[in-house]
Structure 1
Amino acid sequence: MKSGYVDGPWGQIHYRSSGIRGPWVVLFHESPLSSVVWEKVMSHLGDGVRVIAFDTPGYGASNAPAGPDTEIPEYAAVLAAATLDLGVTDPVFCGLHTGASIAIEAARLFGERCPGVVLSGVALYDAEERAEHLANWAPDVEKTMHGDQFSWAVERYRRIWPGLDEEMLHLASLEALRVLPRYHWGYRAAFRHDPAESLAALDVPVLLLDAEFDLLADKDAVALATAKDARLVVLPGLHGQPHLRAPAEYAQHLRTFVDKVAR
C-alpha cells in the first residue's frame, strides 16, 4: 500500500493506493474520518484490483475547501478530476455514508466511463429528517484547556457506533479530533444534499452493501426502489461500519461485484 498527493483547486488531495493490475476501484470514506478506514478492505482486495482511496478535502491529510458551505457535487467534481489526473480508467466508485453521496455524484459525472457503483448507507432522508440532522447531529465543538473535546469524541463514538472495539474508538476519535474545527463540514453537506435524483439517473449496476443495523439501513429499501439496477447485500449482525467490522467479507462482495461489471 502506498500514499500520495494529487493537486486540486483547494490544494493537495491525499490518497492511499494498492494493487498492481486489474480493474480500478475508487473509495470514498464517511465524515469526518479519512482513507485510513479502508486499509483493511484494501489489503483483502489483493493485487488483482487497483484501488485509490481518497481523503475527502478537509479531512485526513487533504487540504480543505474554502468554507463550510461546500456542497456534495463540488466535493465529487474535485475528486472525480483527481481520479482522472491519477490515470484511473473505468472506475467502480464505492462510498460509505457521506462517501456514498460523493460516489453517486462522481459516477454521474463519469457517465459511461463508470461501470458500476457500490454504496453503503445512502442518505435518502426526507425533508424533516434533513432539518433535524442539520440542527442536531454535528454541533460546533470547541477546544478547551480542560480537554472537553477529547471526552466529546470518545462519548460520541461510543454512542453512535454500538459495540465498537478499542481500535475503532481510537481511530475514529483521533480522526475527528484531527479536523475538529471543520469535522461537521462533510456531515452538513450530506444533510443538505438529496442524492435521490442522481441515484435514479445512474445507468449502471448498483450494489448496496450494508450492515444490518447501520444508521442508514432503513434507507436501503428506498435506494433499491430509486436506482434503475440495484441489488442489496446485508452483512448480518453488524451495527454499522462494515468496512471496519468485517473487512474480509466486505472486500469479497466488493471484488465479486467489480469482477462482474468491470470492462
Structure 2
Amino acid sequence: MPGGSIRRRLLESPDGYIESRELGPTARAFAPEAEPLLLVHSTPGAARSFDFLMPLLAEQRRVIALSSPGYGASDRPPEPYTELGQYARALARGLDGLGVDRASLFGAQTGSLLAAEFAAAYPERTVRLALEEPFHWGTPARREALLRIHSYEPPRPDGQHLLALWRRTWRHHERQRAQRRRNGSALADQDLEPVSESILQTLRVNSAAGADVYGEAGWLGAAPYAMGRYDTWTRVAAIRAPTLVIHGTTSQLGRAHDRFVEVIPNARGLRLPSDANFLPNQAPELFASELLAFLDEERPG
C-alpha cells in the first residue's frame, strides 16, 4: 500500500520554483527504488488535481505530479511561454530536481499534448506514455474555441466574476459526478470539495497582468495558446515510447482517436465508457486499473 501522505516540494529552476507532489509505495513517499510515473495535469489545473488518483497508482510506483509554470504553486515564468516545448523543458527540469532520469508519463486532457511533446523531445527519458483525450487544436476555429473555454473573467466589484467562474466549473463537475454515479465509483458523492479546489486553481491564473500575448484569455490561456499553435501530427510522429491513446466512447474529441493511434509509431487505443469526454475521475478505479496494466506490459526487446 502507498505509505504516508503526499510529499510536497518546491524545486528550483531557471524560470522559478516548480511545485512537486509525490507518493510512493513506502513510508518514504519519494521511494527512490520505485519506477517513476509522472502525471501531467490539464489546464487550468495543477499537480494537486491528481491527489484523488495518486493512492490508486502508488502501490508499486513513485508517482510524481508537477505543476506547470504559472499553475498551482509554480512560479510564472519571467516571460510568457508560447510553445509547448518550453513547458516540456520545465517538466524535464522538475525531474532533474527530483533526481529522476527516466519516467513513464500520463497526460490528462489538454496535458496530453504536453506529455506527448515531452516524449517527442526527450525520447531517452520516456519509458511509456499514456494520453487521455488528446486532440489536434491547431486550426483557427479550434484555437478560438480553446481560448474561449479558458477565458479570463475580469474582476468586478460585486463579485460576479467569481459566480461566473463557479458556474463554469460547476457545469463541468455535474457531468463528471453523474458519470461517476453510473460507474458506481466510491468517489461519486465527493461533491463540493473538488469544485472548490478547481475554483482555487482557476483563480490562481485568472489574471491578465503581463499576459498580453494571450489576448483576452489572460494567463488562463497560457498553455492553451501553445497548444493551439502546436504542430501536433509532426511532433507525435516522433514519439518512440510505447503509447496508450485513451478516449471516451462518446467523446467529442474521439474523432481524433484513430489518427493518433495511426501516427504515433508504437501506439494502441483504448475507449473507456464515458458521458462525453472521458476523465479519470469519472471511473477512478477502472482508469487506474487500465493504466497500471499498460505500464506493466512487457517491454519490447
TM-score (norm 2): 0.80
1:50-89 pair list within 5 angstroms: 50-89=62-101
1:1-20 pair list within 5 angstroms: 1-19=6-24, 20=31
Return 5+ residue gaps in structure 1 as ranges.
Answer: none
Q: 1:172 and 2:198 equivalent?
A: yes
Cα 1:161–1:219, aligned 2, differ >3 Å: closer, same or farther? Answer: farther
Contact 1:115–1:261 under 8 Å retained in 2: no
Q: 1:212 and 2:255 equivalent?
A: no
Greater RCO structure (CA 8 Å; 6+ sep):
1
TM-aligned CA deviation for residue 126 of structure 1: 4.9
Cα 1:4–1:135, aligned 2, differ >3 Å: closer, same or farther? Answer: closer
Return 5+ residue gaps in structure 2 as ranges.
Answer: 1-5, 25-30, 178-190, 208-218
Count of residues paired in the alignment: 263
TM-aligned CA deviation for residue 46 of structure 1: 2.8
The CA distance in 2 between the partners of 1:170 and 1:56, in whole Å, is 20
Q: 1:118 and 2:130 equivalent?
A: yes
The CA distance in 1 between the partners of 2:149 and 2:240, in whole Å, is 33
The CA distance in 1 between the partners of 2:74 and 2:90, in whole Å, is 12
Cα 1:230–1:106, aligned 2, differ >3 Å: closer, same or farther? Answer: same
Partner of 2:110: 98
> Secondary structure of 1:173's match?
helix
The CA distance in 1 between the partners of 2:290 and 2:109, in whole Å, is 18
Contact 1:10–1:65 under 8 Å retained in 2: yes
Cα 1:46–1:54, aligned 2, differ >3 Å: closer, same or farther? Answer: same
The CA distance in 2 between the partners of 1:245 and 1:194, in whole Å, is 30
The CA distance in 1 between the partners of 2:105 and 2:254, in whole Å, is 20
The CA distance in 2 between the partners of 1:67 and 1:175, in whole Å, is 21
RMSD: 2.2
Contact 2:137–2:143 under 8 Å retained in 1: no
**Stretch moving more, 167-176 or 15-24:** 167-176
> Secondary structure of 1:47's match?
coil
Q: 1:202 and 2:239 equivalent?
A: yes
The CA distance in 2 between the partners of 1:229 and 1:203, in whole Å, is 7
> Considering only CA atoms, is the larger Rg found in Structure 1 or Structure 2?
2
TM-aligned CA deviation for residue 157 of structure 1: 2.4
Contact 2:81–2:222 under 8 Å retained in 1: yes
Which residue identity is paired with 1:133? A
TM-score (norm 1): 0.90
Contact 2:274–2:282 under 8 Å retained in 1: no
**Stretch moving more, 2-11 or 205-214:** 205-214
Cα 1:204–1:135, aligned 2, differ >3 Å: closer, same or farther? Answer: closer
TM-aligned CA deviation for residue 128 of structure 1: 3.7
> Secondary structure of 1:115's match?
strand
**Stretch moving more, 210-219 or 110-119:** 210-219
Deviation string for 1:149-204 (max 9, x for gaps)?
Answer: 21121222244455134334333222112221122211222222232212111122
TM-aligned CA deviation for residue 134 of structure 1: 5.4
Partner of 2:187: none
Deviation string for 1:215-251 (max 9, x for gaps)?
Answer: 4222212211211111112220343352222222221
Cα 1:197–1:7, aligned 2, differ >3 Å: closer, same or farther? Answer: same
Partner of 1:25: 37
Partner of 2:28: none
TM-aligned CA deviation for residue 112 of structure 1: 2.9
Partner of 1:139: 151
TM-aligned CA deviation for residue 135 of structure 1: 5.8
Contact 1:2–1:16 under 8 Å retained in 2: yes
TM-aligned CA deviation for residue 75 of structure 1: 0.7
The CA distance in 2 between the partners of 1:15 and 1:35, in whole Å, is 7
